[in-house]
Homo-oligomer: A and B are copies of this chain.
C-alpha cells in the first residue's frame, strides 16, 4: 500500500490533520511521554517543539502518518538525530512507520547526522521495537520502570540507537 505514499515537510496548514492523528495516540497514553489530557495546543506544541522538523505521510493526499526529527542534544551532542513517528489509527500494519523511518534515516544522513537515537521506546510497544530492530537499531539502554502505562503499570523503556 505504500507505493502511493508521499512524505513531505509539514506546513502550518497541516495542524488539523496532525492533531487528528496524534490526539488518539496521546489519549491512549501507550506510546509517548506526554500528558494523556494534553489539549490541542499542548499536543501540537509537543509535536512541533522547537528545533524539530515535522513531516507528513500521505496516501493519495490522505494523511496516514507524521514524524519529527531533531538534534538529540545541543553542542557536542548535535551530530546525533532523534526522531518520533506516529501512524494514523486506521493505517497501522501498512508499512507507513517503516517508510517514515527510512525517509528519516535518509534525511538525517543527508543533513550530516552520524547516528539516530530514540530516547524513550516503551518495551511494551513490541510492534515498534521489532520495527526499529529490523531497520538496524539496537537497544543501547534499558530504563527500569520508567513509564507508567495506563493498563500495565510501570514498564521498562528502551533507548535505541543506530549509526547512519
Q: How near does chain B come to A40, taking the closest CB pair, in angstroms?
A: 16
Q: Is the CB of A150 within 8 A of B76?
A: yes
With A32-B75, A33-B77, A74-B35 known as contacts, the answer to whether A142 contacts B141 (CB < 8 A) is yes
Interface 1/0 per residue, A62-103 and B, CB below 8 Å: 000000000011111111100000000000000000000000
A34-B74, A143-B161, A144-B161 are known; give 11 further A-B pairs, CB within 8 A: A33-B77, A35-B74, A77-B146, A77-B147, A80-B143, A119-B119, A140-B141, A140-B144, A140-B159, A143-B159, A144-B163
A: which residues have CB within 8 A of B? Answer: 29, 32-36, 38, 46, 72-80, 114-115, 117, 119-120, 140-150, 154, 157, 159, 161, 163
